[in-house]
Structure 1
Amino acid sequence: MRAPLNAEPPPPGPQWAVPPEGGWTADDLDTLPNLPPHTELIDSSLVFACPQTVFHSRAVSLFSRHLLSSAPPGLESVARLTIDIDRSNRPEPDVVVVRADAVESPQQTRFPAEHVLLAIEVVSDDSVTRDRETKPVKYARAKIPHYWRVENQDGRAVVYVFELEPATGAYTSTGIFHDRMKVSSPFPVDLDLTAIVSRRRAADPQ
């Protein structure tokens, strides 16, 4: 059908899709056009990632590399892929440890939550509430056994470690780590957290 002669052109800039009644679903993340990289679905709403900081980039790289090398056979570490919690929630942890058989294809974009052993979030300025409050509740509800939260405190990494309590179905704190992180669960990890700080800070006299 020919457009009316007096039709106004679309306004400049990106054209965001209007959500359907009831909001977006987990499957929509793979089909919606022009979504920014690392878009998440939280409670049927799209959540866009802010520009990444050096701290965030280094933390994600350090954890994904170290966990990939230290994980026992049958487990694999993957950075920044979404996980299916339910129809309305498809968050993207910064790093996950999954069963190796969950990795089915190089084109894969998501993992079922039941295949995830550990979810790690590196907190950004825009994600504080989501990473401290919203996502842990959803990860616990999905029965992900372990959750780690990495925060930047004055240029130094602090890691908050949580484990799922079967009796309550909620996470319980099992440790807070500065400078060095050493845990035995879900498998042995011994990590120098000072590697995340900037080179200038690391070179300063102590």
Structure 2
Amino acid sequence: MNRPCPLNRGWSYPLQALLHVQLGIETKGNTKHAFPSKETRDPTVDRIRQAIFVAATMLPFGLQTDEDKKDGLPTLPENEINLIFGTGADDPPTTAALRPEFQRERLSQQSPEEESVLASMLMRPWPVTAISTASFEGDDERLNRIKRVFIKTERDHMLDPQQQDSMIKKWPPSEVLEIDTDHSPFFSAPEQLFNLIVKSL
């Protein structure tokens, strides 16, 4: 008997559903974007088998330098972004959102049209200050105990392949896999992405 899939319908819902149905794997949150979390830096590190980065920011201690920000953050023209000043016009922006007319080209240009529409409905502003100042303390030895797999998206218009290569070079993962898709392979090629994830296990 099929059990209901206990997942949030977020950006990565198609991939989450596929993993749940095929392997019984349950995921939390967005499977794409990841900085090393608190769990990878405290004693529970032994419970984590591996971390998979799908065209995601992969920096051991977050965005500590200008070079980290250059490698790990999308570079978008101002006309493609809506800035939201939650604490007042005189303060820095608190959140930002990709304008709807640019979402498909940046995030899901290879995805089916209906998936792009779904993605635009699920889009939420991202916290500018929190992301741009995210940094962590820790030691390389403990972080490197976790197997890391980076899945590089070759036709990415959000986090371009050169940025991905730079992060891979700076902090080499255990394995690098490639997928010939846009920034959203869970929409444009979910089965291919699923197969890569299974291959990495």
TM-score (norm 1): 0.26
Name the structure where strand makes up a greater proportion of residues.
1
Higher relative contact order (CA 8 A, sep 6+): 2
In our comparison, the structure showing a higher alpha carbon Rg is 1
TM-score (norm 2): 0.26
Name the structure where helix makes up a greater proportion of residues.
2
